[in-house]
Amino acid sequence: MAKLTFLTDNCKGCGLCVLACPKKILRISPDVINKKGHHPAELTDEAACIGCASCATVCPDCVITVER
C-alpha cells in the first residue's frame, strides 16, 4: 500500500492529479480551503492507492509525494 502526502497549503486545486489518477480516488476537497484560498486535492481511499505516482508526475506545483 502506498502513502500519499499532500502539501495542502501549496495546492491550487487545478485538478490535474484528479484526472491523472487511474483508480479515481483523488478529488478536490469541497470542504477545505487552504491558506491561499483554494480547495486542495485530497485522497478519498488510501487503501485503494496503487502507488503509480501519476498524480505526483502531473502536479505542476509538486505538492504530492508518493511513498511505496
Average pLDDT over residues 32-58: 96
Q: pLDDT tier at 1 (50, 70, 90 boundaries)?
A: confident
Query: What percentage of the chain carries pLDDT values higher than 70?
Result: 100
**Residue boundaries of the structural domains of the chain:** 3-67
Average per-residue pLDDT for the chain: 96
Ordered DSSP codes for the chain: --EEEE-GGG-----HHHHH-TT--EEE-SS---TTS---EEES-GGG-----HHHHH-TT--EEEE-
Average pLDDT over residues 31-47: 96
Would you tell me which CATH number, out of the four given (2.60.40.1080, 3.20.20.450, 3.30.1540.10, 3.30.70.20), belongs to the domain 3-67?
A: 3.30.70.20
C-alpha closest to that of 4 among 25, 20, 29, 22: 25
Q: Which residues pair with 5 in a beta bridge?
A: 65
C-alpha triplet 25, 58, 44: angle, nearest 5°: 15
